[in-house]
Amino acid sequence: MLTMPISHLSAQETVRLLNRSTGLSDVMPSVNPILEDVRKDGDAALRKYTLQFDRANIKDIEVSHKDIHEAVFSLDKNLISHLKKAALNIRAFHEAQVQKDWIREFAPGIRLGQRITPLGTVGAYVPGGRASYPSTALMTVIPAKVAGVGKVIICTPPQTDGMVNPLTLAAAHIAGADRVFRVGGVQAIAAMAYGTEAIPKVDKIVGPGNVYVTAAKMACGTAIDFPAGPSEVLIIADGSARADFIASDMIAQAEHDPNAVSILVTPSKELAKKVEQEIELQMKNEARLEIIKKSLENAAILTGSLDECIGFSNMFAPEHLEIMTEQDILGRIKHAGSIFIGLYAPVSVGDYASGTNHVLPTAGYARTLSGLNTDHFVTKSSVQIVEKKGLEGIGETVIGLAEAEGLSAHANAVRVRKK
């Protein structure tokens, strides 16, 4: 773990922290042949790679409705209740994001507007590697359905026995997924991008995954949400914050993946020292200790003025940003995937049940990209309704500009009407 004042960071240390490499170029040579195999051989390639990478010999690529319903009934009722409560909150939040068609008059004889059209078919990737992620089924399927997408399919890796985690199946059912397929990794992205005998070609692929999945999304030629690398949290906290809360949040981030990143920036040297001590104390009892230890090698605790902390955060553009300060600094935050404010808003609440989406841009992409939302599942068409008097009002402007660009036919399209 790197611990030092922000002002003392060397150029090399700053680059390491800010430029989080996704490693996409390193894995492309492995990814491209799999994409091509699935494009050519379809389901046969899916079965081959599922056996190779997931050690599962699958016959039926699609999970049957019977298996899905059995999974739902096999689970503890409290778990089903938790999934339903989370789904309710996620649905409510995303319903507030939905935009509607509109048309209004901007000038006499000219009405302009926007038409919203949902995508036809969306593919949601739900990871299943080191852990199962039923919450991702909720986060990817629900906003698509809220946006009005016709069909939403899920691809998720099977367990070694060929079965999909029952909790993931239950979440898929509650979220409203139309079909579920027991395929993961690069081969799943290829199947959704190109279509196979079992899996339909989709209009767009969404959902997080490891570096291989992300590379496949980037290379497959199908529309995607955004690149997603290892998960990350940055915490801005002052002396009023609690060290045990901060430590627990950094450890929670670290248990995701050995490459996950946890950073604390604080004006309080005393808090920084306490957090370091709390991390050592708390991590001893964690089940995923080896992953956490490896991840915390990427962690940093940096001190400086509050201005320096905010400035560093804006440069870092974190996937998750936690703010635990007495001063309201939200208005000074420029770049973050999702923002959590207050002592009682750990990233975990957004991961599962507050209602906001946990599929977020990482590796600094929050500078230019937004987390998954209903806009990812629609297209927006501009509309213009122009009457004769409307054309009279702008006709000469169109003619003048068209002729200035040397496009006389464009100008003539207006002249013909003016005659």
Catalytic, out of 94, 319, 335, 376: 319
Q: Judging by DSSP bridges, how do beta strands 378-386 and 110-118 pair with one another?
A: antiparallel
**Positions at the binding site:** 125, 187, 210, 231, 253, 256, 320, 351, 405, 410
CB 259 within 8 A of CB 22: no
**Residue 371 neighbours by CB under 8 Å, 6+ apart:** 337, 338, 356, 357, 359, 360, 361
Identify the structural domains of the chain with CATH numbers, from first to last: 2-20+230-351 (3.40.50.1980), 24-224 (3.40.50.1980), 387-418 (no CATH)
Q: Which of 282, 273, 297 is nearest to 244 (CA)?
A: 282
Q: Is 320 a catalytic residue?
A: yes
Q: What angle do CA 13, 321, 365 make, to 5 degrees?
A: 65
Name the 3-class secondary structure at 281.
helix
Q: Is 62 a catalytic residue?
A: no
* Cα–Cα distance for residue pair 194/192, rounded to 1 Å: 6
Q: What is the pLDDT of residue 129?
A: 58
107 CB neighbour count, 10 Å cutoff? 12
Q: What is the pLDDT of residue 287?
A: 83
In sign, the C-alpha dihedral spanning 245, 251, 255, 261 is positive
Catalytic, out of 94, 173, 320, 335: 320
* Cα–Cα distance for residue pair 214/25, rounded to 1 Å: 11
Q: What is the pLDDT of residue 419?
A: 83
In sequence order, what DSSP letters do the residues of 2-29 get, joined into one string? Answer: EEEEGGG--HHHHHHHH-----HHHHHH
Alpha carbon distances (Å) from 358 to 73, 93, 108: 27, 12, 45
* Cα–Cα distance for residue pair 372/374, rounded to 1 Å: 7
Could you tell me how far CA 116 lies from the centroid of its own chain? 22
**Positions at the binding site for Zn(2+):** 253, 256, 351, 410
Walking along the chain (419 residues) 10 residues at a time, the average pLDDT comes out as 94 90 87 98 98 96 96 95 98 98 98 98 88 91 98 96 95 98 98 98 96 95 91 97 98 91 97 96 88 93 98 97 98 98 98 97 95 98 97 97 98 95
Burial (CB < 10 A; 0-12, 13-18, 19+), residue 26, is exposed
